[in-house]
Amino acid sequence: LKKIAVLTSGGDAPGMNAAIRAVVRTCVYHGIVCIGVRRGYKGMVDGDFVEMHARSVNNIINKGGTMLHSARCKEFMTKEGRKQAFENLSKESVNALIVIGGDGSFKGALRFNAEFGISVMGIPGTIDNDIYGTTHTIGYDTALNTVVEAIDKIRDTAFSHDRLFFVEVMGRDAGYIALNAGVGAGAEEILVPEENLGLDRLLESLKRSRNSGKMSSIVVVAEGDKTGKSVFELKEYVEQNMPDYDVRVSVLGHIQRGGTPSCFDRVLASRMGVRAVESLLESRGGYMVGILDDSMELTPLEKAIKGHSSINEDLLRVSDIITV
Ligand code: F6P
């Protein structure tokens, strides 16, 4: 193994830079050349490469986003695109690839490996935390803290005006951000994609807390929730059924993807970056590095993509109890 390429793909996540830094420096440490690919798979198709040195990754451990840029690439979904990417890597004599991204990016990596035999290694980087084989993905912890901080601010104004706020958070089809930030921020109700609690229950809960003297409330709604209503429709629904409640909506959006990575994400990304390179050195391609019980573990990429992490039922129960 002489040359490893590294790229970030899909939605960016705070801590991706720390992972790039760890990959580059582990390569330097072991005397391997590291090639950075700009804009994810798009850069592989276009041959947009840059040789990385220990000093290329100075002063990025504390930066959100990704210095290599990211993209969701349509060309790489075609056989011709992948062939072009392989030819570009071959010209550079790259024989292994580290993909920092989410499950869509891992699917691309697996297909690429199956077609052209290049060793691939995945590092889970997404705020959604929706990957099997790791309890935490890079960026998730920072996103949680961002959401909690935002809801704390919303709470101030909700309290002052005796209002109910629906706060929509990201997570695609997963409720990790909603559930954990919801509990951390003391939300009244949390609507997650994994379980449809029904609109009646939501209304009952809001009425119950109003009757018990609660004058303001926060309801956290995962973007993929299963009520079948948008946050704006939920607002209308509650207004129709509880006409004396003043309701507002706040969609947190992409602020959840940016910002300074938390210490947890920096440490996680650093450990994952080192382990990814060292696993390739041990000729263990086709895996994803994850954290399980505070230990770096490898899960076959195939499994990481198809495996299913379920919602934390106990946390849902805790949330019910403490919002009584
Ligand atoms: O996967 C990360 C994520 O931020 C999801 O939570 C969200 O559904 C999606 O990406 C948004 O994608 P885009 O940045 O392309 O709008």
Please state, as a whole number, how many other Cβ atoms lie within 10 Å of the Cβ of residue 38. 20
Ligand 1 centroid–CA 35 distance in Å is 27
Does residue 323 surpass a pLDDT of 90? Answer: no
Does residue 272 surpass a pLDDT of 90? Answer: yes
Ligand 1 centroid–CA 199 distance in Å is 26
Q: Which atom of ligand 1 lies nearest, measured to the CA of 72?
A: 15
CA distance 324 to 320: 7
CA distance 48 to 95: 17
| Mean pLDDT value of segment 295-319 | 92
Alpha carbon 103 to its chain's center? 10
Query: Contact, 291 vs 118, CB < 8 A?
Result: no
At residue 311, the pLDDT reads 87
Ligand 1 centroid–CA 11 distance in Å is 6
Residue 71 CB partners (closer than 8 Å, separation 6+): 9, 39, 40, 41, 42, 43
Counting ligand 1 atoms within 8 A of each CB, the residue from 128, 177, 252 with the most, and so the one to mutate, is: 128
Q: Which atom of ligand 1 lies nearest, measured to the CA of 172?
A: 8
The residues pairing with 222 across neighbouring beta strands, listed in sequence order, are: 169
Nearest Cα residue to atom 3 of ligand 1: 11
At residue 1, the pLDDT reads 81
Give the N- to C-terminal CA distance of the chain in Å, as an integer.
58
Does ipTM exceed 0.90?
Answer: yes
Percent of the chain at pLDDT exceeding 90: 95
| Mean pLDDT value of segment 161-184 | 97
Does residue 309 surpass a pLDDT of 80? Answer: no
Ligand 1 centroid–CA 254 distance in Å is 8
At residue 310, the pLDDT reads 80
Q: Which atom of ligand 1 lies nearest, measured to the CA of 127?
A: 2
Does this model's pTM top 0.90? My answer is: yes
* Reported confidence tier of residue 256, pLDDT bands at 50, 70, 90: very high
Main-chain dihedrals φ then ψ at residue 305, nearest 5 degrees: -75, -45
- Exposed (0-12), middle (13-18) or buried (19+): which is 79, by Cβ within 10 Å? exposed
Catalytic positions, written as ranges:
128
Nearest Cα residue to atom 1 of ligand 1: 11
Q: Ligand 1 site: residues with CB under 6 angstroms?
A: 11, 102, 126-128, 170-172, 223, 257
At residue 10, the pLDDT reads 95
